[in-house]
Amino acid sequence: MIYWDLFCAFFVPNIIGYGGGPAIIPLIESEVVGHYGWMNSQEFAETLALGNALPSPIATKMAGYVGYEVAGITGAMVAVLATVVPSLLLMLGSLGVLYRYRDSFRVKRMSQWVRPVIALMMAWLTMGFFTEGIDNPGLIHMLVIASLSGVALIKFKIHPAFVVFFSLIYGGLLLNQ
Amino acid sequence: MRPASQGALFMAFIRIGLLGFGGGPAMIPLVHQEVVKRYGWLEEEEFADVLAIANVLPGPIATKLPGYIGYRVGGVLGCISTVLAVILPMIAGMILLLSIFSRYRDIGWIHGMGQAVIPVVMVMMGQLTWDFWDKSYKTLGLFMSLVIMIVAGVLIYWLGIHPGWVIGSLLIMAWLLPERTYKNNEATE
Q: Which DSSP string corresponds to A48-84?
A: HHHHHHSSS-HHHHHHHHHHHHHHHHHHHHHHHHHHH
When the pLDDT of each residue in chain A is averaged and rounded to a whole number, the result is: 89
pLDDT band at B187 (very low <50, low <70, confident <90, very high): very low
Looking at the predicted structure, is the pLDDT value of residue B65 above 80? yes
pLDDT, tens digit, for every residue of A87-124? 888 888 877 677 777 778 888 888 889 999 999 999 99
Q: Residue window 149-178, chain B: list those with CB within 8 Å of chain A.
A: 149, 152-153, 156-157, 162-164, 166-168, 170-171, 173-175
- Identify the closest residue of chain A to B182 by CA–CA distance: A109
Quick one: angle between helices B142-153 and B108-140, nearest 10? 130
Spell out which residues of chain B touch residue A42, defining contact as CB-CB under 8 Å. Answer: 114-115, 118
Looking at the predicted structure, is the pLDDT value of residue B189 above 50? no
pLDDT band at A55 (very low <50, low <70, confident <90, very high): confident
Whether residue B39 contacts residue B4, with contact meaning beta carbons closer than 8 Å, is answered with yes
Closest Cβ opposite residue B120 in set A25, A49, A88 = A49
B52 touches chain A (CB under 8 A): yes
Amino acid B93: pLDDT: 93
Closest Cβ opposite residue A87 in set B57, B126, B152 = B57
Amino acid B186: pLDDT: 46
pLDDT band at B56 (very low <50, low <70, confident <90, very high): confident
| Cβ-defined contact of B128 to A17 (cutoff 8 Å) | no
Q: What does each C-alpha distance from B40 to A120, B30, B52, B67 come to in angstroms? A: 42, 14, 19, 17
Amino acid B4: pLDDT: 67
Looking at the predicted structure, is the pLDDT value of residue A38 above 90? yes
Spell out which residues of chain B touch residue A107, defining contact as CB-CB under 8 Å. Answer: 56, 175
The ipTM of this complex is 0.89
Please tell me which residue, B42 or A108, carries the higher pLDDT value: B42
Closest Cβ opposite residue B171 in set A114, A153, A174 = A114
| Cβ-defined contact of B91 to A123 (cutoff 8 Å) | no
- End-to-end CA distance of chain B: give it in Å, rounded: 32
Amino acid B155: pLDDT: 95
> Taking CB atoms and an 8 Å cut-off, how many pairs form between chains A and B?
346
Looking at the predicted structure, is the pLDDT value of residue B181 above 60? no
pLDDT, tens digit, for every residue of A122-164? 999 999 999 999 988 899 999 999 999 999 989 998 888 889 9
Looking at the predicted structure, is the pLDDT value of residue A78 above 70? yes
Amino acid A159: pLDDT: 84
Amino acid B98: pLDDT: 92
Q: What are phi and psi of B97, to 5 degrees?
A: -65, -45
Amino acid A22: pLDDT: 80
Quick one: angle between helices A160-174 and B108-140, nearest 10? 140
Region of poorest pLDDT, from A12-16, B76-80, B145-149: A12-16
Closest Cβ opposite residue A109 in set B54, B122, B174 = B174
C-alpha dihedral sign at A118, A121, A127, A132: negative
Helix (H) or strand (E) holding A100: helix A95-101
Amino acid A9: pLDDT: 95
Measured between alpha carbons, how far is B183 from B179 in angstroms, rounded to an integer?
Answer: 6
B96 touches chain A (CB under 8 A): no
- Which of helix, strand or coil describes residue A17? coil
| A34 CB-contact burial (10 Å; exposed 0-12 / middle 13-18 / buried 19+) | middle
Please tell me which residue, B80 or B54, carries the higher pLDDT value: B80
Measured between alpha carbons, how far is A162 from A153 in angstroms, rounded to an integer?
Answer: 10
Other CB atoms within 10 A of residue A176 CB? 13
Looking at the predicted structure, is the pLDDT value of residue A81 above 50? yes
Burial B133-168 (b: 16+ CB within 10 A, else e): bebbbebbeeebbeebbeebbebbeeeeeebbebbe
pLDDT, tens digit, for every residue of B122-148? 999 999 899 899 999 999 999 999 999
pLDDT band at B22 (very low <50, low <70, confident <90, very high): low
